[in-house]
Structure 1
């Protein structure tokens, strides 16, 4: 190789190395987003206080600037063209007519909003910031048009801490003199501890994943109260088809309302950490199942056995509540054959170190026949429960002939004798042969629970 070739090759190598070095330097040190530190003239709480009449459209005509940290976006699909931001005084829904907002507005990003020209209104008591639009002669609140977003929303620093406010269910009630629309926690990222989904909602997905993509309502509660809260999920959320966790624990969510109904919106399933044991050792409310008409109910692990006669347990409903039902009113064999029908739970393990108690509810009508609640430790799960030993906990009979009774609670029955054992619960419906059909009892058991203490 001659000297000119060597020089030419060396120069090329040096230039190539400089290019590679330059590329590497840029890759390792991306530009840092600088916070513009725009003067903030009011708080989110003060801005929301400007909207006092539900359904009104309050256009902002003065120079007002707010700022907040993004606490929720549309990444999972559970929000649509919407962000939630929060400052030290509260949270707020921001309506933006654009998709894929999470790319520009990740959780933890600080943003500034110049509010002059925007409109603050509410959607059934949930305050939102957007633009007023006249559509078919009617004012509505719409998202800020995509080409105009940059005129109003200015990006700030990234990776700001996002810490939910730890609250109780009682904290979500309206403070004295405060309307639902002005509740101080609306739009905030909150955390509720020691919660769990109701039994029926641990057997079905968060929302509808069919063509119709209907939103889902799944309910949570704690161990000390019957009060429930609605976890509302869009059918377009990427976790809509997942089954909620069946344990107990903490949930983080945006607190919202629809009219007077309290609702929680999770950002994705990582907001739900229900990894601890549930409040009850066993519970069944039957809400996860569909009514069966006159067809025998069939649930996983349960036994529906006609020892004698032709009367199965079915699943019925009243006012949205689903429950087992048994009645010999339409029996074609009772004239000559006694009715004996069993409904038996799956096996239930009772741990040691507890003082468990059992309760159930039951609605009933008509006096003839009996309905027994029982427990067994030696039933084998087969089709001959009469061959096992059953302890009768209570016998229901002589129900009124008029209207159905309420779903009265029976128990608590002390299950201390069963700690460390596996048990089965059963209901046994009996009516003697020849019982007049218009007097034979109807029984509707529901809400079976075995508590830990």
Structure 2
């Protein structure tokens, strides 16, 4: 009996040592407490007049995607606020920092050899990273996400060691409330990776809601489940990814709709942008499921098919304005021979053979009264030729005064729409879907902004250039009857 008791006491002692060693400093309330030594270390760092504090965007700009990780040899420091948590097991040896607790503009990933990082780097914690001697690059997965790591192994970034975490990742005494950035599913893109976001009026499709779990037992590591939300006359879709190690992995997907808060991330292979939950408590789906609008309830209040505008360069007529912000090429009207829209007049802009490295051209609609009705949607078709890395943005302004001189100084907000992609055949035309304008009021102008240039010299257009052509037709404003 004495021997067994001794063994039990010995095991208990060893277990207590092992258990307390799992949490740095043996402090189980680390998020609420900051050691004097760590606080002094941070104060000393910030009092150093030779350091330069960089924004997250500036740090990410030090690295070009696809290149080898870059070692930071200067005295640079970056500050951010923690948006992710590994408490539930859905994140592993990584945390994300965004540049502001509310309305963030950028975020970055940090890869580190630390389990249960939430004990120290809790959500909302203000963190300063001393970058000198660290690296900025992409991880072994080459997922296209810029991250901070401890060292480089060829073209891959490796995790910060525990010692680097202790010496380089310094917490302040501040923990802010992270106010989720409200987005629709159609608005989420790569620029939001690392940010904590909120999607309202969201649900799981009826064929899996209440039937499937967050994680599929047939998958090995991660499962992607489709989310949907009603946007206009149909659904927008996005995917939620759950790790097999998440403590909610075997929970059943809710039947109803509501709100979901999550971190925007990318899949391990970098192919897709997805959402990842910090915790199951960030899913609040107890409301009725949504129903898309009925097209029969709407009519066209304004339409422009460019047929009555003279074939001209630049495009002028029916209240539309074309403006070349940079470069000499501008929007024009021409007749297309595309199989998908033969014999139709269209608005077209491309920078091929302009001879100028930068061509930025605007095509702006007449004024549209958004106060005449409660709900308005925008719809149009788009096509391209010589598809490449040129861009087409869809914008709206409610404060532009209608003069060319004030176009670039007005406030323009980017709108979401299904604009033709580079891999679409040049003869095909793509429907934009319905873009909701009901959140805007007053007199508004819609703009198509072409961003490109002739950087290919005398060579034929090819992938990697920015001189492709975008085409627009059948512009409509739809309102409720």
Larger Rg: 1
